[in-house]
Amino acid sequence: MAKVLDIPFGAARQFVDGARAAENSRRSYVRVSIELEEGAPSELVCSLRDALMPQAATGLVHVEVVRPGAPVRVNPDCDLAIVVSGTSGIAAEVSRAFTSMSVPCAIVVETSVEAPEPHEVSGAALIAATSPEAMLEKLATWMAEACHADIALATNFPFVRHAVSLACVSRRCAQNAAISILPLSGGAEMPLLTANQALMALDVAGAHGRGANAERVADIAFVVASAFACRGIARYLGKNLPGLGFLVRPAVAFGGAAAVGRALIARFEAEKAWKARQQPHFCR
């Protein structure tokens, strides 16, 4: 049976390297291209403009009106492209220009009736929304899944923070479940699970624009305490459910990480809501 020394990385080094990577991800650039077709719904365009106002210098947004017959300029370094469909009927053509350069692209339409045929969009996502609120919710989910620079994306654009945080938590939960089924002895998986959950805390903090600094001490302490609680639960269930340890360990590892991640997300969102209530409101 493998021992902890057989693992090619240490939990401490994993956390340090991961913390450095999390901070670099938060400070990396993210580029979003907005292509507006002529006749695009003004309400959706205005809502998109306000939502994609970068909160940091690392958020780069390019906005352009596309017209029939005009060439579509594609930056291959672009992380995401959003085409707002209008009346000229070239949304599918514009989306193909981006997807042909391996740039994730979404087409926003008011109703599914106005959406191009699936065979015309060549891999672009279709987002149908009659209201700005519905558009931003669907768009946030797509952006969190499609953008490889998701932490930088959330740092710059608050409306995607919840979706990006959930995506980060889901990834770490799956990793914890995988770690828990490794044939390690003597609780050797405990440091790895704890380090991975600590990295999840940094992911969630980074998605909310917080750095990997001394302010994260409380979050890490919460993660460590939760890890010991989960180990106790796993041992208790393992003793009382003999023969099912191979199911109990990944279930507890996944569920524990999910609970911790959701709690961290709720804390950051509650803190934001509290600060918003404390800000003075001026009446005209």
**Of the residues 118, 148, 178, which one is the last residue of a structural domain?**
148
Does one domain contain both 174 and 234?
A: yes
Q: For 142, phi and psi rounded to 5 degrees? A: -65, -45
171 and 213 inside one domain: yes
> pLDDT per position in the chain (284 positions), as tens?
334 444 434 556 666 666 677 677 777 889 999 999 988 888 999 999 999 999 888 899 999 999 988 888 888 889 999 999 888 888 888 998 999 899 999 999 887 766 666 667 778 888 988 888 989 999 999 999 998 888 889 989 999 999 999 999 999 999 988 888 877 655 677 888 888 888 889 889 888 888 777 777 888 888 888 888 888 888 888 788 777 767 888 888 899 999 999 999 999 989 888 776 766 654 44
What does the pLDDT read at residue 260?
Answer: 92
Residues of the domain holding 14: 4-26+160-278
Q: What are phi and psi of 183, to 5 degrees?
A: -80, 70
**Residue 283 domain flag:** no
Residue 87, helix vs strand vs coil? coil
Our count of domains for the chain comes to 2
At residue 23, the pLDDT reads 72
Last-in-domain residue among 114, 148, 182: 148
Does residue 219 share a domain with residue 130? no
Distance between CA atoms of residues 74 and 71, nearest Å = 9
pTM recorded for the entire structure: 0.81
Same domain flag for 13 and 100 = no
Does residue 154 lie in a domain region? no
Q: Is residue 122 part of a domain?
A: yes
User: Do residue 141 and residue 229 come from a single domain?
Assistant: no
232 within a domain of the structure (yes/no): yes
Kindly state whether residues 106 and 170 are assigned to the same domain: no
Residues 76 and 165 in one domain: no
Same domain, 18 and 36: no
Do 215 and 255 lie in a common domain? yes
Q: Is residue 153 part of a domain?
A: no
**Is residue 62 assigned to a domain?**
yes
Q: What's the rounded Cα separation, in Å, for the pair 102 and 214?
A: 39
Whether residue 284 is contained in a domain is answered as: no
CATH number at residue 132: 3.40.50.9100
Torsion 199-202-204-207 (CA) sign: negative
| Pair (218, 132) in one structural domain | no
The residue with tokens 């828990």 is: 180
The reply to whether 144 falls in a domain is yes
Shared domain for 168 and 204, answered yes or no, is yes
Backbone phi and psi for residue 65, each to the nearest 5 degrees, phi listed first: -90, 125
CA distance 261 to 161: 13
pLDDT at position 1, please? 35
Q: Select from 117, 148, 179 the last residue of a domain.
A: 148
170, 256: one domain: yes
Q: Which residue has 């205005």 as its token pair?
A: 46
Q: How far is CA 119 from CA 81, 111, 112, 123, 214, in A?
A: 19, 18, 15, 9, 51
